[in-house]
Amino acid sequence: MADKHLKEMTFATRAVHAGTEHNPVNGGIITPIDLSTTHAQISPANFVSCYDYQRCGAPTAMAFQRKIASLEGTKYCLAFRSGLAAIVSVITMLKKGDHMLCIDDMYAGVERYLRDIHT
C-alpha cells in the first residue's frame, strides 16, 4: 500500500486521505487538478520532477492512482488517459495462442487496432 500510514485506517478515512500530500509551498491539503500538458525540463530529457508529459503521468493522476491502490489494498494502480490506451495495454499482455472475445459493437478505434495493427 503506497500510503503506509493509512494501512490501519478505515476505508472511509483512506477514501478521503490516501494519495494526497500537503503542498509544501502553500500548505494546501487537497491535490489540485493539474492542467499542465507539459512539464519543465532543465535540458532535453532532464526533468525538473518525475513528470514530463500529461499522457505519461501528472500529479492529479498520480494522486488518483495512489488513492485507488490504497482503497484496493494494493501497492500499485494504473489509470489510463483513454479507453483505447487501457485496452491496448491489456491486449499487449496476451501471449501467442491466447484467445480474446469481443463484441461486434465496439469502439471503432479498438476494432481498427485489432484488425489492422495487432494481428
CA–CA separation, 80 and 112 (whole Å): 19
What domain count does the chain have? 2
Q: How confident is the model at residue 3 (pLDDT cuts 50, 70, 90)?
A: low
Q: What's at 14, amino acid-wise?
A: R
Domain-embedded: residue 56:
yes
Answer yes or no: do 11 and 65 share one domain.
Answer: yes
What are the CA-CA distances from residue 32 to residues 40, 49, 61, 93, 104 (Å)?
Answer: 18, 17, 11, 33, 40
Answer yes or no: do 65 and 90 share one domain.
Answer: no
Answer yes or no: do 92 and 67 share one domain.
Answer: no
CA–CA separation, 37 and 54 (whole Å): 5
Answer yes or no: do 48 and 98 share one domain.
Answer: no
Residue 87 confidence (pLDDT) above 50: yes
Out of 6-10, 67-71, 90-94, 97-101, least confident range: 6-10
Residue 2 confidence (pLDDT) above 70: no
In the prediction, which pLDDT does 12 show? Answer: 87
Domain-embedded: residue 78:
no
Domain-embedded: residue 97:
yes
Query: Could you tell me the three cell numbers for 58?
Result: 501528472
* pTM of structure: 0.65
Q: How confident is the model at residue 1 (pLDDT cuts 50, 70, 90)?
A: very low
**Mean of the per-residue pLDDT values of the chain:** 82
Domain-embedded: residue 77:
no
Answer yes or no: do 16 and 66 share one domain.
Answer: yes
Domain, as residue range, for 87: 83-117
Answer yes or no: do 10 and 62 share one domain.
Answer: yes
Domain-embedded: residue 105:
yes
> Taking residues 86-114, what's their average pLDDT?
87
Answer yes or no: do 61 and 9 share one domain.
Answer: yes
In the prediction, which pLDDT does 68 show? Answer: 92
